[in-house]
């Protein structure tokens, strides 16, 4: 007779009363078969997003060839292999065909439209927006972003505008990868023109990082607060890394909006010194996690437990501690943290000696 200690359906841990042993059972013991869905030309694929039922991804890094920065969309109902739920290699197409960008960062859905950040080698990193209902091309779908349905939402002045994030009904994006241009921008769509779309005049600086920051890149929202991780000019090596938080309720005087992040509502909750950048921030099991590092063995992971000190909803410096020490491994950085079905998955930038 056996008794289930852990039973998760596909796998479980069982106690055998006859032998007194614990046994692990895996119902599907066959290894999964991985295959290439899209064979890209760029060194990096990033930023998967589902929009109107279709899967999008972006490609390119800052050192990619100009023009490699594009967004691709999968249309599985083309059914080239008999499975309408799988993205096969010939079911991907260009969603954008811009020739000036080295990288696309995103995309992100906001108010029913799709937004993406971009990167170039010099000034000119923009935010793009897709309006698929334009349905410009003959035979195109009003649910799929075609190349001629993308516009410039924000005309940037620096190298990079990072993947946007939605917070309290507004769209935010961090800027920068070079010296002293790490601002955070916010879009209020109703500032001008069409109140459902972010136009250039709708964007304004939410956090002015021009005095110290190299870039503000990764973001997440938790308990009504917005967090941005970035690279600063205050640490050693390539720079330091800070975690910033916005409390939109901290200063509502002078006509500021209590749900918008204004310049005097940002504070630093973590100063990482010389570990060269926070590249990913996420929420998992009601805790905030972030990963850092750009150099060998600097790939650390930290967790914030707000209930430890002070405000039980807000991450203070005393709430943050390291949960993974990259100094024990050959990882140059933690590039992605993503929760899925109760497990936190980690992407790394591998290094070697």
Q: How far is the C-alpha of 187 from the C-alpha of 265, rounded, in Å?
A: 16
Contacts of 182 (CB under 8 A, 6+ apart): 174, 175, 176, 209, 210, 212, 213, 214, 215, 216, 230, 231, 232
| Average of per-residue pLDDT across 49-55 | 92
Interval 1-44: pLDDT, tens: 566 656 655 556 665 656 656 566 655 544 456 778 888 777 67
What confidence score (pLDDT) does residue 231 get? 74
Report yes or no: 150 and 182 within 8 Å, Cβ to Cβ. no
Contacts of 235 (CB under 8 A, 6+ apart): 241, 272, 273, 274, 275, 276
Residue 233 or 107, more confident? 107
Annotate 120-161 with DSSP letters as a single string.
-SSS---EEEE-GGG--STT--TTS--GGGEEEEE--SSSBB
Nearest alpha carbon to residue 261 among 201, 186, 182, 311: 186
| Average of per-residue pLDDT across 211-232 | 84
What confidence score (pLDDT) does residue 178 get? 60
Mean pLDDT of the chain: 81
What confidence score (pLDDT) does residue 236 get? 38
What confidence score (pLDDT) does residue 347 get? 79
Grade residue 256 by pLDDT with cuts at 50, 70 and 90.
low
Contacts of 341 (CB under 8 A, 6+ apart): none
Report yes or no: 174 and 219 within 8 Å, Cβ to Cβ. yes
What confidence score (pLDDT) does residue 328 get? 52
Q: How far is the C-alpha of 266 from the C-alpha of 209, rounded, in Å?
A: 11
């Amino acid at each position: 007779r056996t008794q289930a200690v852990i039973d998760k359906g596909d796998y479980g841990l069982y106690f055998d009363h006859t032998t007194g042993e614990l046994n692990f059972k895996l119902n599907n013991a066959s290894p999964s078969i991985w295959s290439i869905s899209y064979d890209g030309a760029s060194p990096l694929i990033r930023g998967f997003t589902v929009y109107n039922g279709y899967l999008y991804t972006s490609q390119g890094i800052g050192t990619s060839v100009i023009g490699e920065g594009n967004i691709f969309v999968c249309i599985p109902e083309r059914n080239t292999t008999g499975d309408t739920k799988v993205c096969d290699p010939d079911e991907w197409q260009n969603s954008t065909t811009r020739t000036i960008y080295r990288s696309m960062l995103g995309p992100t859905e906001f108010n029913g439209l799709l937004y993406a950040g971009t990167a170039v080698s010099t000034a000119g990193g923009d935010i793009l927006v897709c309006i698929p209902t334009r349905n410009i091309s003959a035979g195109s779908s009003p649910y799929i972003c075609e190349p001629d349905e993308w516009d410039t939402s924000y005309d940037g002045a620096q190298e990079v505008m990072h993947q946007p994030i939605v917070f309290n009904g507004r769209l935010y994006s961090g800027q920068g990868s070079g010296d002293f241009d790490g601002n955070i921008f916010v879009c209020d769509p109703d500032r001008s023109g069409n109140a459902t779309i972010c136009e250039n005049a709708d964007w304004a600086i939410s956090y002015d990082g021009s005095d110290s920051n190299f870039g503000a890149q990764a973001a997440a929202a938790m308990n009504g607060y917005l967090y941005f991780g970035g690279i600063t000019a205050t640490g050693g090596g390539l720079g330091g890394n800070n975690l910033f938080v916005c409390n939109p309720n901290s200063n509502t005087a002078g006509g500021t909006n209590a749900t918008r992040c204004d310049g005097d509502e940002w504070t630093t909750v973590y100063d990482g010194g010389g570990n060269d950048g926070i590249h990913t921030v996420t929420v998992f099991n009601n805790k905030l996690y972030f990963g850092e590092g750009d150099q060998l063995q600097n790939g650390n992971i930290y967790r914030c437990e707000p209930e430890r000190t002070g405000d039980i909803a807000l991450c203070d410096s005393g709430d943050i501690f390291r949960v993974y020490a990259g100094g024990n491994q050959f990882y140059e950085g933690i590039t992605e943290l993503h929760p899925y079905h109760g497990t936190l998955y980690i992407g790394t930038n591998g290094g070697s000696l």
